[in-house]
Amino acid sequence: MATSVSAPTIAPEPSAIPASLWNACFVLCVINASFFPTAFFSHWWIYDPNGLGIPTDFVNVWAAGRLVLDGHPALAYDWDIQKKVEVALLGQDFIGNFAWHYPPPFLFVATFLAQFPYAVAFVGWVSVSFVPYLVMMRAIVGRSFGLLLAVAFPLVLNNTLVGQNGFLTAALIGGTLCLMPTRPVLSGICLGLLSYKPQYGLLFPIVLIAAAQWTVFFTAACVAVAMAFASWLVFGTESWQAFFHWMPMFSQAFLTEGRATFWKLQSLFALVRFLGGSEQLAWIFQWILSGTVALGLALMWRSSVRYSLKAAALAVGTLLITPYLFMYDMMVLAIPVAFLVRIGLASGFRRYELPALACALGLIIGFTFLRAPVGLGATLIVAGLIAGRAGLWWRHAPAPSLMVGAGA
């Protein structure tokens, strides 16, 4: 008669941090911490050896804020005008565009940053947004090792190098999930603030309805509406009109024409296009994946699977369902990794988990050299680890509340 065999585990002491995990995180932490001072003084970061600004993503934030301060918030969405401001700021021209495509509420952040000199704004934005990310990683892991894991995550380098908002996105998703069982109002506030990047909030309404988390749902809706209303009062109707006018052009440029090159996008859509598939075929694959993820998560969140696995699955799902996913946005992957580490430290790591995480992080590190959408592979590896922990979750009885299994 066949018998089921549970997966073997590492570390007889549940509280022990495996030496391989600690050593890897320490090395990556030292690399990340030492890279940017070295890069700045060697003129690899922010300014080049001639004292000119290095063209990179953060320039669109500062330029958009400058246009608002000059009294023209709607012009931040005009690619030609935005680029003129960016070229004037950097002191040199560049190929392509660093276009502003965020909803008008994010202009509040851009306007504040544009009041400072470019380098100060750049370093300040990265540093300040890093703090809530650290707090959330510490809270999720449940011990100080979470801080080391947060700093060591390889995508810290990608996000900081270009001055993007991956830290903020990861912090808001992590905050939503970490606070949901015990602080639903604060969780909803985090989710409402995430509306500055709406493509990462698409799964949350489905899951919140499935889990009957109405406090989080309505709090998030109120926060998102309040932000939109405030931006309308401050920046005018024209800013919203410009946002909706330019969005189809942005989609055309990046998803249809591939102006940013498809290897920079880390979605299934991008992989199909990278391999030579048509846009229609890419959308078919992407919609199949998105629908499968949405249905699976709705069922999982109604089951009695432990909360940490539900949260990890939702975090990784946000990356799988969007076709527009640059490597810096994959900072969000730190959140499901943190939940998996929390579980592993509490109950022991399965034999394959740490090698699998190493493979995922290896793909991320090798992204620049491989020039392929390998980030999708890293996301799928983490998703597979979560599924392995959850087991046959669709057979689990419905959970009466999120407090069931809210621990590790």
| pLDDT tens digits for range 149-160 | 999 999 999 999
Residue 63 lies in a domain: no
Q: How much is the pLDDT for 401?
A: 53
pLDDT in tens, 197-221: 999 999 999 999 999 999 999 999 9
Q: How much is the pLDDT for 2?
A: 43
Task: Tell me the residue range of the domain where 327 lies.
Answer: 130-395
Residue 344 lies in a domain: yes
Q: How much is the pLDDT for 368?
A: 79
Q: How much is the pLDDT for 396?
A: 56
Residue 184 lies in a domain: yes
What CA–CA distances, in Å, run from 232 to 73, 248, 295?
11, 21, 35
Residue 205 lies in a domain: yes
SS (H, E, C) the chain: CCCCCCCCEECCCCCCCCHHHHHHHHHHHHHHHHHHHHHHHCCCCCECCCCCECCCCHHHHHHHHHHHHCCCHHHHHCHHHHHHHHHHHHCCCCCCCCCCCCCHHHHHHHHHHCCCCHHHHHHHHHHHHHHHHHHHHHHHHCCCHHHHHHHHCCHHHHHHHHCCCHHHHHHHHHHHHHHCCCCHHHHHHHHHHHHHCHHHCCHHHHHHHHCCCHHHHHHHHHHHHHHHHHHHHHHCHHHHHHHHHHHHHHHHHHHHCCCCCHHHECCHHHHHHHCCCCHHHHHHHHHHHHHHHHHHHHHHHCECCCHHHHHHHHHHHHHHCCCCCEHHHHHHHHHHHHHHHHHHHHHCEECCHHHHHHHHHHHHHCHHHHCCCCHHHHHHHHHHHHHHHHCCHHHCCECCCCCCCCCC
Q: Which two tokens stand for residue 169?
A: 């996105």
Residue 45 lies in a domain: no
- pLDDT tens, position by position, for the chain (408 residues)? 444 444 444 444 456 899 999 999 999 999 999 998 898 888 999 999 999 999 999 999 999 999 999 999 999 999 999 999 999 999 999 998 899 999 999 999 999 999 999 999 999 999 999 999 999 999 999 999 999 999 999 999 999 999 999 999 999 999 999 999 999 999 999 999 999 999 999 999 999 999 999 999 999 999 999 999 999 999 999 999 999 999 888 888 888 888 888 999 999 999 999 999 999 999 999 999 999 999 999 999 999 899 999 999 999 999 999 999 999 999 999 999 999 999 999 999 999 999 999 999 999 998 878 889 999 999 999 999 999 999 765 555 565 555 434 455
Count of structural domains within the chain: 1
Residues 6+ apart with CB under 8 A from 385: 340, 353, 356, 357
Residue 266 lies in a domain: yes
Residue 106 lies in a domain: no
Q: Say what angle helices 334-347 and 353-365 make with each other, to 10 degrees.
A: 160
Residue 80 lies in a domain: no
Neighbours of 392 (CB within 10 A): 8
